[in-house]
Amino acid sequence: MSSAELGIATGSRGDYDWFSTDLFELNDLLQKCPQAFIGKFIAVTSWDSGFLSLTADQERAGWRSKNGIAYSPRIESVEDLSCGGFDEWLLSTSSLDLGEPWSGNVFEAPLGPGHFCALVNFGYFGLHNPELEALITIFWRQIDWVRPESYVADGNAFLTFVT
């Protein structure tokens, strides 16, 4: 399925429902569904294709960075959040510690607690894309051990939201 044909694709796996779309981006989701983010803690595994460098204001507000992953305090307003494109966030009702990001070959990554692979930077990553089944398998294995409330990725062509 090409991005021109996508619109919105939906599915489910276990306790999670998901959608992928090329109709809007993360900023749109923040504005249209702020309740998905308010009261949550966010782990930012990718921001603008890399690590989120925290500003002094973010640090004063309680954000912290560990091993290149940025962790928010409890979100009180979506106005406090910024998107860079190629963003990947995990949301939870309690703070997360994802360990270390994996920077080598994703297919050689030690999948499990303590290691996390950001997948948003793989072109056309989306749960609807059967050509990326190997990456989708890695994605669900990570979701199984992290158990976030939600996951959001705003990549090359699709916004993916899992909850």
pLDDT digits (tens, 9 = 90+) for 29-80: 999 999 999 999 999 999 988 899 999 999 999 999 999 999 999 999 999 8
Gap between the Cα atoms of 48 and 154, Å rounded? 10
Question: Which residue range forms the structural domain that includes residue 120?
Answer: 3-162
Q: What is the pLDDT of residue 5?
A: 60
Using alpha carbons, select from 44, 110, 35 the residue that is nearest to residue 76.
Answer: 35
| pLDDT of 97 strictly over 50 | yes
Q: What is the pLDDT of residue 2?
A: 43
Q: Angle at Cα 69 formed by Cα 99 and Cα 109, nearest 5°? A: 50
- Contact (CB, 8 A) for 68 and 103: no
C-alpha pair distances (Å), 4 with each of 21, 103, 122, 161 = 10, 31, 18, 19
Gap between the Cα atoms of 94 and 97, Å rounded? 10
Please state the domain count of the chain.
1
Q: Which residues of 47-56 are buried (b: 16+ CB within 10 A; e: fewer)?
A: beeebbebee
- DSSP state for residue 26 in the 8-state scheme: H
Q: Whole-model pTM?
A: 0.92
Question: CB under 8 Å to 11, separation ≥6 — which residues?
Answer: 17, 18, 19, 127, 128
